[in-house]
Amino acid sequence: MNDQPDKISEINERNLRVLEAVLFASSEPLDVSSLLTYMGEGANIANLLVALQQRYAGRGVNLVQRGDKWAFRTAEDLSFLLRREEQKTRTLSRAALETLSIIAYHQPTTRAEIEEVRGIATGKGTIDLLMAAGWIRMRGRRRAPGRPVTYGTTDAFLDHFGLESLSDLPGLDELKGAGLLSNRLPSSMQIPLPFDGALRDDEGPLDPDDLDGEDKNA
């Protein structure tokens, strides 16, 4: 190194240090004019910022420009470090359990039908929760006024509850035998045979829009 630029590089190095510290400590991205207040006379802030940016390129932290402001940010490829997934086992709420059981026995069924059996409105959150749990799916749309979405259970549902197929769901007599249903029930009461095959005659396919998992009629 020759003598002359030594002085300049010393000042430069000092300014880089200050820039580094100020940008590190700032609680928000800083623009050039506020950075300038920390620099010595005649500092070429644009050059300094580029130099600092290059110095941090490829490091775990990068100097990034946001609009006309500058800030340190975690390198994009390391952003996964700042996310963590926590699994928590939770017991299904009563409402969700009721809705799920009705869908299981009555499938393909619509939200209105579920509400009819439950005698109470079923929140969209309950359906969403069961969808997120992976236990129910939208099958199609009922060929009826309003074309409501029909719901059915998934393979994950069978898997979780240890069923080989839907026909393993106990019928009326078995439920009575297990003491789950009272024997005093009227003989007119029937339990439907759940159906999880392809679309039934009264079902149409889902709309293309339904693919994002939203029930537009909800």
Give whichever of 50 and 81 is closer to other proteins, judged by the CB atom. 81
Q: How far is CA 139 from CA 79, 101, 132, 149, in A?
A: 37, 16, 15, 7
- Which does residue 60 touch among other proteins, its own copies, none (CB within 5 to 8 A, set by kind)? its own copies
Q: Residue 95 corresponds to which amino acid?
A: A
Give whichever of 38 and 215 is closer to other proteins, judged by the CB atom. 38
The least CB distance from residue 55 to other proteins, in Å, is 17
Q: How far is CA 170 from CA 23, 101, 158, 173, 216, in A?
A: 67, 12, 13, 8, 33
Give whichever of 3 and 85 is closer to other proteins, judged by the CB atom. 85
Give whichever of 90 and 184 is closer to its own copies, judged by the CB atom. 90
Give whichever of 42 and 162 is closer to other proteins, judged by the CB atom. 162
Rounded to whole angstroms, the Cα distance separating 47 from 32 reads 11
Q: Which residues bind its own copies (CB under 8 A)?
A: 16-22, 24-25, 38, 58-61, 72, 74-75, 78, 81-82
The least CB distance from residue 45 to its own copies, in Å, is 15
- Which does residue 38 touch among its own copies, other proteins, none (CB within 5 to 8 A, set by kind)? its own copies
Q: Which residue's entry shows tokens 């009819």?
A: 116
The least CB distance from residue 177 to other proteins, in Å, is 11
Rounded to whole angstroms, the Cα distance separating 202 from 109 reads 11
DSSP string over 142-161: ESSTT-PEEEEE-HHHHHHT
- Which does residue 216 touch among other proteins, its own copies, none (CB within 5 to 8 A, set by kind)? none
Rounded to whole angstroms, the Cα distance separating 191 from 59 reads 64
- Which does residue 191 touch among other proteins, its own copies, none (CB within 5 to 8 A, set by kind)? other proteins
The first and second tokens of residue 57, run together, are 């390129």
